[in-house]
């Protein structure tokens, strides 16, 4: 029998669940311990940010919110590997990556607080990134188009998109990786496999043993990564970005992690998943292993942890206050951003809305 | 007899029909163990098993296309779009195949399927969870578009939709999913499709609406009654194919009409009704037809959302304007 194709999917991990190194060939960035501390600090601030968001929602100050608890290594790993000139297309919970790119917590609060201004990121490089994409997987195609633009213009930039395990079932995802392979696009597609798409477990999404191997069908470099190990995430991302930048084409990374929270604040995960599973997942969570590793290297300790926690709390309190102080947009904001100029007929509707507002 | 909400009426209808017709299957994202994100399918998987209440992979195109295959193969699928904002990827399958199958094959293959979707705004949901897009489907020949406005009509119309031999879009106004309860006997009695329901008789002005806005229309009629104005309220219920006769009869009687809907005004379904009135009842009219609708904007995130939705006061004022005109 002749064989037409064969493939293997590598699994990348550097730190085990306790933070012990499982291989010696650590990537170069790891030698910069200050930077490793920075990564840990951003993971922590992401977690503090997330806890504040949930608390805000519980007290009626946000609408539905999608938590990122447990995704800190995946998200910060993605954001920190990217260069400012790259473009990020996220779904709706990758705050750790976005904070790295300058999205402010107050902007996230505004978005989930029912105010479009949260999408108007003030800081570069986030300002040239896409906004949150709620319709699942649609952003993958935007990233492909952006990557095509980079290729056409000969720019050494990369488009990165993130997608969930559930989202990787969608045609848009397949379409995006397919054109990335066919056109050799500078695009990195990251599947954040947190095991659940609301109540639907990973195994119902696909009969394939890995989600990474979907990239093989598209002709892309594909790898599965321990998504709770920031060293592995960062390394896989850096390699993928470099290949893309050098014209060697796109990649599909599957980051294996776990959603420690409910899907959103409107969801109750106890309805569909067992306590033991969540307990086991907590044992593998991403912060502990990096902390242990940093402590073993002598660059982190309880005191520093406390001090940084305090700083994070202050930062987030400040952001929360800034958000709470924003006034609702005027009713005209509903009309003013649909076209470069408000068309005459729409302007009449805007006048009507203004007059109704005056009467109310 | 139990008092139930609109969403419970949906569950009750599904359970009734699944128990009485083995070919009925429910499919969608999270419809199984979780019972749907709004709990419309709660308890059905326990009762009917994992194959008749199927959690699908996360792909609306898959859900819509598989639904067509199930239906042509003799099953009666009831597919769920988790929110109407996620129904767009289903549209290709629905428009290109479900709506055309019977005509294309001269009746050889048919699609007795139902697509359910929670519809409309007003629940402080995130982006893409609040669309009102019924008009996109009323323009596709071969589809029924149905929208209940009360628990009893949700039960009766959903049963009718499942039993109907052709594809039905069933939009559930989620703003009133849990707004009030009413007695709905679980007797398997369907309500007729393709007819409007006259919810209140009146002689001065006709208010035509559907779904969640029925609430504002009835409130407006109450307010008008206090001022001695008698408003007839029509719940369209099946938007396509439209029972225009009921609307025409009412407009011929009152000479005035206010159409209320949540979707954007331009090319919204109100435009169709207004045009039909112009075509068929122009000389009965005593005043221009009024449309009170959403604006031609995307529904804003929730800080501004209530300023987008048509209010009872706007309906009252429109009705009064039609009276002042003649
Ligand atoms: C096209 C589309 N269908 C349905 C939904 C509703 N929905 C929101 S999140 C979600 C599950 C997503 O799971 P996954 O892709 O694994 O990402 P995760 O939320 O776990 O990060 C669903 C079904 C949606 N947002 N978009």
* A259 counts as catalytic: yes
As a whole number of angstroms, the distance between CA A355 and CA A229 comes to: 56
* Residues of chain A positioned with their CB less than 8 A from the CB of B298: 338
Tell me the pLDDT band of B248, cut-offs 50, 70 and 90.
very high
- Are A357 and B307 inside 8 Å of each other by CB? yes
Q: What are the pLDDT digits (tens) for A72-90? A: 999 999 999 999 999 999 9
As a whole number of angstroms, the distance between CA B238 and CA B167 comes to: 13
The mean predicted confidence, pLDDT, of chain A is: 97
Question: Does any CB of chain B come closer than 8 Å to the CB of residue A329?
Answer: yes
Pick from B213, B203, B199, B198: nearest CA to B312: B213
Q: Which of A111, A112, A334 sits opposite B295 (nearest CB)?
A: A334
Pick from A282, A288, A289: nearest CA to A258: A282
* Residues of chain A positioned with their CB less than 8 A from the CB of B57: 166, 169, 200, 204-206
Question: Does any CB of chain A come closer than 8 Å to the CB of residue B51?
Answer: no
DSSP B58-103: S-HHHHHHHHHHHHHTT-EEEEE-SSGGG-HHHHHHIIIIITTHHH
Q: What are the pLDDT digits (tens) for B160-202? A: 999 999 999 999 999 999 999 999 999 999 999 999 999 999 9
Tell me the pLDDT band of A23, cut-offs 50, 70 and 90.
very high
Q: Over pLDDT 90: what percentage of chain A?
A: 99
For residue B58, pLDDT beyond 90: yes
Q: Is B53 helix (H, G, I), strand (E, B) or coil?
A: strand
CB of A255 closer than 8 Å to CB of A44: no
Tell me the pLDDT band of A152, cut-offs 50, 70 and 90.
very high
For residue A104, pLDDT beyond 80: yes
- Are A171 and B61 inside 8 Å of each other by CB? yes
Q: What is the pLDDT of residue A359?
A: 87
Best residue in B303, B310, B315 for a mutation probing chain A (most A CBs within 10 Å): B303
Q: What is the pLDDT of residue B194?
A: 98
Q: What are the pLDDT digits (tens) for B275-325? A: 999 999 999 999 999 999 999 999 999 999 999 999 999 999 999 999 999
Q: Which of A111, A135, A166 sits opposite B86 (nearest CB)?
A: A135
- Are B57 and A205 inside 8 Å of each other by CB? yes
As a whole number of angstroms, the distance between CA B136 and CA B145 comes to: 10
Q: What is the pLDDT of residue B326?
A: 80
Q: What are the pLDDT digits (tens) for A300-352? A: 999 999 999 999 999 999 999 999 999 999 999 999 999 999 999 999 999 99
Q: What is the pLDDT of residue B8?
A: 98
Best residue in B42, B58, B88 for a mutation probing chain A (most A CBs within 10 Å): B58
Q: What are the pLDDT digits (tens) for B96-141? A: 999 999 999 999 999 999 999 999 999 999 999 999 999 999 999 9
- Residue B61 has a CB neighbour count (10 Å cut-off) of 17
CA count, 13 A, side-chain hemisphere, A44: 22
Region A180-203 average pLDDT: 98
Measured between CA atoms, how close is A58 to chain B, in angstroms? Answer: 14
Q: What ligand 1 atom has the least distance to the C-alpha of A193?
A: 16
* Residues of chain A positioned with their CB less than 8 A from the CB of B293: none
Q: Which of B127, B295, B298 sits opposite A353 (nearest CB)?
A: B295
- Give per-residue burial for B205-214: e unless 16+ CB within 10 Å, then b: bbbbbbbbbb
Q: What ligand 1 atom has the least distance to the C-alpha of A135?
A: 26
Whether ipTM > 0.90 holds is: yes
Region B3-9 average pLDDT: 98
For residue A157, pLDDT beyond 90: yes
Question: Does any CB of chain B come closer than 8 Å to the CB of residue A169?
Answer: yes
Q: What is the pLDDT of residue A127?
A: 98
Q: What is the pLDDT of residue A329?
A: 97
Q: Which of B59, B266, B295 sits opposite A170 (nearest CB)?
A: B59
For residue B1, pLDDT beyond 80: no
Please list the alpha-helical segments (H only) found in chain A. 33-58, 72-81, 95-100, 105-112, 138-153, 171-182, 202-205, 214-217, 230-245, 275-283, 286-296, 302-324, 344-359
Which residue among B32, B59, B86 has the greatest number of ligand 1 atoms within 8 angstroms of its CB, and so is best to mutate? B86
- Give per-residue burial for A112-130: e unless 16+ CB within 10 Å, then b: bbbbbbbeebeeebbeebb
Q: What is the pLDDT of residue A360?
A: 80
* A272 counts as catalytic: yes
Output the CA torsion B63→B64→B68→B74 (10° steps).
40
As a whole number of angstroms, the distance between CA A358 and CA A155 comes to: 51
Region B34-53 average pLDDT: 98
| Residues lining ligand 1, Cβ inside 6 A | A 93, 134-136, 164-167, 192, 194, 196-198, 259, 263; B 29, 58, 60, 82, 86
Region B25-31 average pLDDT: 98
Smallest CA–CA distance from A197 into chain B, residue: B58
Q: Is B185 helix (H, G, I), strand (E, B) or coil?
A: coil
* A234 counts as catalytic: no
- What's the CA-to-centroid distance between B190 and ligand 1, angstroms? 34
């Amino acid at each position: 029998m002749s064989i037409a194709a064969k493939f293997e999917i590598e699994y990348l991990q550097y730190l085990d669940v306790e933070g012990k190194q499982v291989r010696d060939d650590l990537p170069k960035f790891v030698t910069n311990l200050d930077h490793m501390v920075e990564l840990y600090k951003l993971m922590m601030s992401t977690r503090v940010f997330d806890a504040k968001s949930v608390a805000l929602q519980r007290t009626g100050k946000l609408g539905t919110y999608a938590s990122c608890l447990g995704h800190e290594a995946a998200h910060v790993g993605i954001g920190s590997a990217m260069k400012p000139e790259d473009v990020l297309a996220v779904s709706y919970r990758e705050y750790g990556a976005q904070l790295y790119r300058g999205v402010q917590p107050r902007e996230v609060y505004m978005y989930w607080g029912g105010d479009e201004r949260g999408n108007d990121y003030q800081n570069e490089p986030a300002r040239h990134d896409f906004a949150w994409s709620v319709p699942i997987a649609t952003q993958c195609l935007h990233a492909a188009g952006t990557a095509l633009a980079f290729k056409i213009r000969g720019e050494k930039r990369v488009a990165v998109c993130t997608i969930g395990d559930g989202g990787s079932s969608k045609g848009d995802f397949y379409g995006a990786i397919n054109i990335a392979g066919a056109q050799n696009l500078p695009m990195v597609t990251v599947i954040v496999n947190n095991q659940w798409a609301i109540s639907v477990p990973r195994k119902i999404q696909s009969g394939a043993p890995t989600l990474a191997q979907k990239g093989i069908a598209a002709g892309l470099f594909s790898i599965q990564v321990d998504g709770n190990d920031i060293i592995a995430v960062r390394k896989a991302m850096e390699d993928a970005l470099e290949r893309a930048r050098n014209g060697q084409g796109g990649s599909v990374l599957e980051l294996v992690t776990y959603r420690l929270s409910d899907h959103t604040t409107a969801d109750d995960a106890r309805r569909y998943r067992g306590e033991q599973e969540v307990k086991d997942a907590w044992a593998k969570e991403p912060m502990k292993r990096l902390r242990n590793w940093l402590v073993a290297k002598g660059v982190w300790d309880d005191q520093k942890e406390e001090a940084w926690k305090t700083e994070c709390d202050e930062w987030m309190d400040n952001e929360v206050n800034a958000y709470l102080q924003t006034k609702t947009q005027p009713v005209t904001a509903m009309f003013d951003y649909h076209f470069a100029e408000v068309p005459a007929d729409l302007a009449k509707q805007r006048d009507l809305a203004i007059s109704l507002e005056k009467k109310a | 007899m139990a008092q139930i909400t609109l969403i419970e009426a949906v569950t009750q209808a599904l359970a009734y029909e699944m128990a009485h017709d083995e070919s009925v299957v429910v499919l969608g994202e999270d419809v199984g163990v979780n019972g749907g994100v709004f709990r419309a399918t709660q308890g059905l998987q326990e009762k009917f098993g994992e194959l008749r209440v199927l959690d699908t992979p996360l792909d609306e195109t898959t859900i819509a296309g598989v639904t067509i295959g199930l239906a042509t193969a003799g099953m009666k699928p009831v597919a769920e779009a988790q929110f109407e904002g996620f129904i767009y990827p289903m549209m290709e399958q629905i428009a290109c195949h479900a709506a055309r199958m019977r005509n294309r094959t001269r009746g050889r293959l048919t699609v007795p399927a139902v697509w359910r979707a929670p519809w409309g705004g007003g629940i402080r949901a995130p982006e893409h969870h609040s669309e009102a897009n019924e008009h996109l489907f009323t323009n596709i020949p071969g589809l029924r578009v149905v929208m209940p406005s009360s628990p009893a009509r949700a039960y009766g119309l959903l049963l009718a939709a499942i039993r109907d031999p052709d594809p039905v879009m069933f939009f559930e106004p989620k703003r009133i999913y849990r707004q009030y309860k009413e007695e709905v006997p679980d007797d398997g009695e369907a309500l007729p499709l393709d007819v409007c329901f006259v919810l209140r008789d009146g002689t001065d002005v006709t208010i035509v609406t559907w779904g969640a806005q029925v609430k504002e229309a009835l409130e407006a009629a109450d307010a008008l009654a206090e001022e001695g104005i008698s408003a007839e309220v029509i719940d369209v219920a099946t938007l396509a194919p439209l029972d225009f006769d009921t609307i025409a009869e009412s407009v011929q009687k009152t000479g005035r009409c206010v159409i209320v809907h949540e979707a954007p005004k331009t090319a919204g379904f109100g435009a169709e009704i207004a045009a039909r009135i112009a075509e068929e009842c122009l000389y009965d009219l005593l005043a221009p037809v009024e449309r009170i609708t959403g604006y031609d904007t995307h529904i804003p995130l929730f800080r501004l959302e209530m300023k987008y939705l048509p209010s009872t006061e706007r309906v009252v004022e429109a009705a009064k304007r039609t009276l002042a005109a003649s």
